[in-house]
Structure 1
Amino acid sequence: MCDETTNHGCCEPNPPWEPPQVIPAQMRRVNNLIFRKINQFHRENGVENVTPMHDWIMSYLYWHKEEPVYQRDIEREFSITRSTVTNILQLMERKGYIERQSVPRDARLKRLVLTEEGALLHEKTMHSLHQTDEFVSGLLTPEENAELLRLLNKLREGLR
């Protein structure tokens, strides 16, 4: 029999209708809330229609603008198939985010280049992400932020 005044031993820690506070579930909840905040800042910055994959590719092209980037580089970088990358790049080209430029030495090869519109969208998206980071990190003290990052990195390494 349970001693309700002291709750020693036999009583369940949570009533059966309450889920346990397990780490993966809590991380998932926090992740969902962070993505809602990202979407809010994306709307405020006018980039709500940019898909995450399009932004990752625009970001890759932005940071590698001084070197030639080809479709195979995107396939390798993001571990996605040729047909998937082809479809993504065609849509990005139709939306005006990228251009495919012919390479003089090989007519079959097309260099991927970020357009001015693509670069502007990338910068707005990065602004949204910085706003989100500032908002989230502002919820904790500098010491708590450092500890959270340390623990998240430890979890990431252990789960690899």
Structure 2
Amino acid sequence: MRTIVEKKGVIMLHVGFQIRDVSLALDKYLTQLAIKHDAENLDGPQGAVLFFLHTHRGVEIVQKHIEQFLSIQKSAASGLIKRMEKNGFISVQSHPTDKRYKLIAITELGEKKYEAIIEFLAASENLITDGISSQDLTVFKEVLQKIKDNVCSVECK
């Protein structure tokens, strides 16, 4: 049952329920689209690590860089790196001069997954924003930020 709010004589659906409905529909759509683009389970930290490694090719990357990029603890980064290495997305090798560090690099499979993520993001953004002007999107983003600020003024402290 939906909560209806009457405001200035106009009956409106409660904003919180509209946000929830959009969130549920978007989650269902994105899950199906991710499978279609072979990008499932890569929308979170693993996808972010692939993005980071792809954009820092040629740079020596160690676990500390990933911890800082994702703002996560050493133990979380260690588990993430182990899973990604097990999945074949990254390679981990000893640092040639400092054995305390392991060098982390994106593999060929990791690059393919990165490209799948980029295709997935483009396809999802195209559908989500279809028929919406850039001006309307700007206003929408500002309103979403204001809603987040309102909620966080109470809950995010």
Q: TM-score, normalised by structure 1?
A: 0.76
Matched letter for residue 19 of structure 1: T
Q: 2: distance between equivalents of 1:141 and 1:110?
A: 47
Residue 20 (structure 2) pairs with residue 36 (structure 1): no
Cα separation, 2, equivalents of 1:61 and 1:31: 30
Matched, 1:63 2:47: no
**Structure 1 segment 1-160 matched on structure 2, within 5 A:** 17-20=1-4, 21-50=13-42, 52-156=44-148, 159=152
* Greater mean alpha carbon deviation, residues 36-45 or residues 22-31: 22-31
Instruction: Give secondary structure in 2 for the equivalent of 1:55.
Output: helix
Deviation of 1:76 after TM superposition, in Å, equals 2.0
Do the aligned partners of 1:61 and 1:114 also contact (CA within 8 Å) in 2?
Answer: yes
Unpaired runs of 5+ in structure 2? Answer: 5-12
Q: State, as a whole percentage, how many aligned pairs show the same letter.
A: 22
Rounded to whole Å, the distance in 2 between the matches of 1:23 and 1:147 is 16
Q: Is the 8 A contact 2:37 2:117 kept in 1?
A: yes
Q: CA deviation at 1:105?
A: 1.7
- 1: CA distance, partners of 2:131 / 2:121: 16
* Cα distance in 1 between the residues matched to 2:111 and 2:49: 11
Q: Mean Cα displacement is larger for which, 40-49 or 24-33?
A: 24-33
Counterpart amino acid of residue 39 in structure 2: V
Q: Tell which structure's C-alpha radius of gyration is larger.
A: 1
Give the equivalent residue in structure 2 for 1:4: none
Q: Residue 127 of structure 2 aligns to which amino acid in structure 1?
A: F
Structure 1: gaps (5+ residues) = 1-16
Give the aligned residue type for 2:53: L
- Aligned with 2:84: secondary structure? helix
Q: When the two structures are superposed, what TM-score results if normalisation uses the length of structure 2?
A: 0.77
